[in-house]
Amino acid sequence: MAIRRYLHLLIVLFLSACSTTKFLPPGQKLYTGAQVKITDKNTTKSEAKALTSELEGLLRPKPNSTILGLRFKLYIYEKTKTNKRKGLRHYLNTHLGEPPVLISAVDLDKNSSILQNRLQNESYFLAQVVGDTISKNRTAKAVYTVQTGPAYHYHKIVFPPEKDDLDTAVTGTANQTLLKVGDKYNLDIIKAERIRIDARLKEEGFYYFAPEDLIMKYDSTVAGHQVDMFVKVKDATPDQARWIYSIRNIYVYPNYTLKDTSLKLDSALKYRWYNVIDPKNTVRPFTFKNSVLLQPGDIYNRTEHNNSLHRMIELGPFSYVKNRFEDVTPDSAKLDIYYFLTQQKKKSLQAEILARQTSANFSGTQVDLTFRNRNTFKGAELFTLTFFASSDIQFGPYNHGYNVHQFGVQPSLSWPRFISPFNFKTDNAFIPRTILTTGYTLINRTKLYTLNSFNASFGYQWKPNLHKQNNLNLLELTFVNPQNVTQVYKDSIQKTRNPALAHVINKQFTFGPSYSYTWTNTTEDYRINTFYYNGKISLSGNLYGILTGADTPRRVSKLFGIPFNQYVKLENEIRYFHKLGPNSKLATRFMVDVGLPYGNSTVLPYSQQFFIGGSNSLRGFQAHSIGPGAYNLPQKLAQGTNFLPDESGDIKIEGNIEYRPKLFSIVEGALFVDAGNIWLLNSNPDLPGAAFGKNFINQIAADAGFGLRFNLSVLVLRTDIGFPIIEPNLPAGQHIVINKIDFGSSKWRGQNLVFNLAIGYPF
């Protein structure tokens, strides 16, 4: 009975949404859209299809939107009409509703003129467009009949003869012209050509030149529907636009405010090729040697000037930078440059409170307190000191009071330059940095153990361009010292014979370099397809281990009396994003990570191993609960331990695919599938099925799910619900569990649905 009522309600809503024309005023017809018909027989099908799509996009107004052919927004608008200025009906009417678009609002002549003008701008000089309407009952549509005529193509492109410096420079850009013989005439490309020439001339000192100083003339009397295009400098172009300008003096004001009305040139302190005006000595003069890229005597170059502005902002202490050029000697074409920098607040203190869900049904909070000094030694150095404390409490069937409490401190210092005995020079828009980071974390797992973790790193970060970034750490050091290991934990190791439990409380000492490379164009929203790649290599104890002949178990080498780890670790991550439309996207990710322990190590240290599962990984499984390989953790748990160890491995393979549609307002949806696993490099008799082998593909875990994202601009709040579809730890022949999905069963939901709450997208 309930199902029948539900179906009846759906039918009523469907029929009501279909009959939106009954709300129209008498004599009015609902506009249902427009059609463009190209009647030229000489126009190919592909050309006609492309032109039709382009021209229909220019027509106004747009008809009422539809969902599956139904005008729901129009229906909501009509059913929620109200004279009130607030309330639910008013909100639905103004935010979800859509007023009717009538055929009387369509201006056929104006639209025809717009289409004809666009065609003429795209080589169809003889185009003709006629508009008409076709009515049916209480609806009507517009039909535009298009006679394009022949397309005109370029016969030749002529650049100006070399009469002076400007003509010579314009002609010198001809090899890169956007205008190609044989191409169709196109006004948009002509405009882009003027901008291209101007951009090139700005690199060659023509400071006052502008695109408007160029005139593009064409002759369409050439036989065979062709045009000759002439690129010419206007005769009225002023002398200043024809001169090549060079730099005379450069002045930097590091503590500028709007109250400053005097240039104070008498207080200028000269540092190498520029002058600093800073009476209060807020910033040391050498700070700008990597930011002021133009020098006296250089020809003006817009790229170097823009890069200088970008670098000054990237220094850190400055919130705003403006510049001024002064034409100081008009007869000799010289420029003085003034850079005015406004400082932001030097010191700040920020507190953050985070809620999270972590491995094995842990839920908790973290408090971060961060102090920043953006100009520590008056050289734009950034000093950051972060204190954090967190508490994670375990819920669910394995809750026996084994909670996790952490406390830590992380000081770091970043210099906006290379600290090195060698002189590295970069001249792009990005400041290179030297970064020193240290840290200490106390991890207390109640009733089990305490870990003291120390880390430090020193290295460099630089970007060759907008898409690439390099990170080179000359040294990364990690030391983890376990303390207060309880008898409960020791007994669990003996009862389960699980090496993962013992591995956690081993002393871990790693030291060595690392290098990572990132390439991405994902910030360029105009692209249909975008990519992200990150590759990283990390080393530990390599050279020292070779020198000391480290070879476990025959000879374990030590440094400062502590055994150190040796390994080579390779990480690779690729992301691919494809726009399916203006409000939907397909996002994918693939990762392959491999750790190769040797010499002093038979496995990677626990802090360097790979984990899988959780809110940013396989979302249908608890974090760190999968693998390694086909190893069956629940059987081991049954032998005597009451808590879940975090499973880890030396090899990781993971892939994800996610469909992301925008639903409404700030709400986005997601449908996803995740797959992957971790493995040990070497086999272990206590972990059957955990080693990587030729049958690894049969040990891949997979899940599916759905979620919502709330895009609040400053952050994205994410909720995901996942469930397993392949469980590799089950007996052979039972791995695939997709056929056991039963959303109606509370038992199945309790055992399989995993809820993830997180900040930001998973990838």
What are 228-262's pLDDT values in tens digits? Answer: 999 999 999 999 999 999 999 999 999 998 887 78
Question: 68 pLDDT exceeds 50?
Answer: yes
Question: 3 pLDDT exceeds 50?
Answer: no
Fold of 246-343: Ubiquitin-like (UB roll) (3.10.20)
Q: For residue 273, with 0-12 CB atoms within 10 Å meaning exposed, 13-18 middle and 19 or more buried, which class applies? A: middle
Q: What per-residue confidence (pLDDT) applies to 112?
A: 97
DSSP letters spanning 69-113: TB-HHHHHHHHT--S-SSSHHHHIIIII--PPPBGGG--HHHHHH
Mean pLDDT of 476-480: 94
Q: For residue 731, with 0-12 CB atoms within 10 Å meaning exposed, 13-18 middle and 19 or more buried, which class applies? A: exposed
pLDDT per residue as tens digits for the range 19-46:
678 778 888 999 999 999 999 888 888 8
Ordered alpha helix ranges (H), 474-554: 487-496, 499-504, 542-548
Lowest mean pLDDT of 197-211, 313-327, 728-742, name the range. 728-742
Query: Under CATH, domain 17-64+100-147 is a member of which superfamily?
Result: membrane protein fhac (3.10.20.310)
Structure tokens, 539 = 């080393």
How far is the C-alpha of 270 from the C-alpha of 285, rounded, in Å? 8
User: What is the pLDDT of the chain when averaged over all its residues?
Assistant: 89
Q: What per-residue confidence (pLDDT) applies to 425?
A: 78
Q: Judge whether 203 and 301 are in contact, CB under 8 Å.
A: yes
DSSP state of 149: -
Q: What per-residue confidence (pLDDT) applies to 612?
A: 92
Q: What per-residue confidence (pLDDT) applies to 1?
A: 47
Q: What per-residue confidence (pLDDT) applies to 6?
A: 43
Q: What percent of the chain has pLDDT over 90?
A: 64
Provide the pLDDT confidence category of residue 554 given band limits of 50, 70 and 90.
low
Whether the upstream peptide bond of residue 553 has omega within 30° of 0, thus cis, is yes
DSSP letters spanning 537-580: EEEESHHHHHHHT-BTTTB--EETTEE---EEEEEEEEEEEEEE
Structure tokens, 67 = 């969902």
Q: What per-residue confidence (pLDDT) applies to 708?
A: 95
How far is the C-alpha of 188 from the C-alpha of 194, rounded, in Å? 10
Q: What per-residue confidence (pLDDT) applies to 18?
A: 53
Mean pLDDT of 192-196: 97
Provide the pLDDT confidence category of residue 735 given band limits of 50, 70 and 90.
confident
Q: Judge whether 245 and 172 are in contact, CB under 8 Å.
A: no
* All CATH 3.10.20.310 domain ranges in the chain, comma separated: 17-64+100-147, 153-242, 246-343
Q: Which residue has the higher pLDDT, 454 or 555?
A: 454
How far is the C-alpha of 521 from the C-alpha of 273, rounded, in Å? 36
Question: 640 pLDDT exceeds 90?
Answer: no
Fill in the amino acid letter for 619.
Answer: R
Residue among 756, 672, 761, 663 at smallest CA distance from 716:
761
Lowest mean pLDDT of 119-123, 297-301, 364-368, name the range. 364-368
Q: Which residue has the higher pLDDT, 647 or 401?
A: 647
Whether the upstream peptide bond of residue 628 has omega within 30° of 0, thus cis, is yes
pLDDT per residue as tens digits for the range 369-402:
999 999 999 999 999 999 999 998 866 555 566 7
Residue among 656, 661, 682 at smallest CA distance from 596:
682
pLDDT per residue as tens digits for the range 423-464:
777 888 999 999 999 999 999 988 889 999 999 999 999 999
- Contacts of residue 50, Cβ cutoff 8 Å, sequence gap at least 6: none
Q: What per-residue confidence (pLDDT) applies to 727?
A: 92
Q: Judge whether 64 and 173 are in contact, CB under 8 Å.
A: no
Residue among 675, 679, 716, 672 at smallest CA distance from 694:
679
Between the two ends of the chain, the Cα-to-Cα distance in Å is: 45
Give the other-Cβ count within 10 Å of 348's Cβ. 11
- Contacts of residue 340, Cβ cutoff 8 Å, sequence gap at least 6: 253, 256, 321, 322, 323, 324
Q: Which residue has the higher pLDDT, 197 or 75?
A: 197
Q: What per-residue confidence (pLDDT) applies to 149?
A: 93
Fold of 153-242: Ubiquitin-like (UB roll) (3.10.20)
Phi, psi (deg, nearest 5) at residue 721:
-120, 120
Whether the upstream peptide bond of residue 61 has omega within 30° of 0, thus cis, is yes
Helix (H, G, I), strand (E, B) or coil at 469: strand
> Which residue(s) pair with 125 in the sheet?
none
Residue among 453, 496, 505, 444 at smallest CA distance from 643:
496
DSSP letters spanning 282-347: -S-GGGGTTT----TTPBP-HHHHHHHHHHHHHTSSEEEEEEEEEEEEGGGTEEEEEEEEEE--SE
Q: Provide the greatest CA pair distance for the chain.
A: 97
Q: Judge whether 283 and 378 are in contact, CB under 8 Å.
A: yes
Mean pLDDT of 700-707: 96
Q: What per-residue confidence (pLDDT) applies to 17?
A: 46
Residue with tokens 């291209």: 196
On the CB side of 496, CA atoms within 13 Å amount to 25
Provide the pLDDT confidence category of residue 557 given band limits of 50, 70 and 90.
confident
Helix (H, G, I), strand (E, B) or coil at 395: coil
Question: 361 pLDDT exceeds 70?
Answer: no
Q: Look up the pTM and report it.
A: 0.81
Question: 502 pLDDT exceeds 90?
Answer: no
Q: What per-residue confidence (pLDDT) applies to 9?
A: 44
Lowest mean pLDDT of 529-538, 573-582, 618-627, 664-673, name the range. 618-627
Q: What per-residue confidence (pLDDT) applies to 573?
A: 98
Q: Which residue has the higher pLDDT, 361 or 425?
A: 425
Question: 268 pLDDT exceeds 60?
Answer: yes
How far is the C-alpha of 64 from the C-alpha of 102, rounded, in Å? 9
Q: What per-residue confidence (pLDDT) applies to 550?
A: 74
H helix and E strand count, the chain: 14, 29
Q: Judge whether 357 and 757 are in contact, CB under 8 Å.
A: yes
Q: What per-residue confidence (pLDDT) applies to 169?
A: 97
Question: 634 pLDDT exceeds 60?
Answer: no
Q: Judge whether 127 and 150 are in contact, CB under 8 Å.
A: no
On the CB side of 669, CA atoms within 13 Å amount to 10
Q: What per-residue confidence (pLDDT) applies to 7?
A: 45
Q: Judge whether 159 and 170 are in contact, CB under 8 Å.
A: yes
How far is the C-alpha of 335 from the C-alpha of 93, rounded, in Å? 59
